[in-house]
Homo-oligomer: A and B are copies of this chain.
Amino acid sequence: METADTIGAAPRPGLRERKKQRTRDALLRAALELFTTQGYEQTTVDEIADAVDVSQRTFFRYFAGKEDVALFVQRLAESHFLAAVRERPPHEAPLEALRRAVLESWDTIGEAIEAVIPIELHMRTFQLIESTPALLAAHLRRSAEMEEEIAGVIAEREGLDVDADPRPRVAVAVFGGVMRVTGRLWGAGEDTSVEAIRALTASYLDHVGPALAEKWRT
């Protein structure tokens, strides 16, 4: 099944594989570039394919559709976050684990992204998603799916049954809600640095307690 160098650190992917990777990257970049400059709906799949000089059919062999390309990097980031959650030490309280996972994972996420596309392009894409109904919808659905997954992780950490105890899902729902708000505000604001989103997230998470309080008047 596998060649001898499977164990080695640099398996040298082979020409075929490298070519595939190049086409995939080229399609991704071309798509995001076109989306962010002329708009998502205004960009046709043919345009993207033409820009990379492949047939439309080939585009669909690499990506499930327009949506899929647009959210590709987002999914990358999400999987990093999910991994970060799984690696939190078990003694941390659920919300604390989630909080630290986000705050810490942003750096690794940034690196992972830059290995594929320029970070600046990703920023523009992020704002595009927020402002394009079709993309926002798809993104929210993905988020919902991931929340379900995370709820499972949390439940396991605490040795609970997700379907019996409401707390895992509730905690994750609360957390997810706050994350969406911060993401939205970050995209709308001026400062698109990693520091900015980190500070914003921390601040908003700190406001969950006060927001649930009976009296808002100081």
| Chain A residues within CB distance 8 Å of chain B | 93-96, 133, 136-138, 140-141, 144, 158, 160, 166-171, 173-174, 176-178, 180-181, 203-204, 207-217
Contact = CB atoms under 8 A, between A and B. Distances in A.
A144 B178 CA distance: 12
Contacts of A169: 181
A167 B168 CA distance: 23
A180 B216 CA distance: 25
A93 B212 CA distance: 9
Nearest to A203: B166
A169 to B, nearest CB: 5
Nearest to A177: B173
A176 B167 CA distance: 15
Contact of A207 (B158, B167, B208, B213): B167
Contact of A178 (B136, B174, B216): B174
A90 to B, nearest CB: 12
Contacts of A210: 167
Nearest to A214: B93
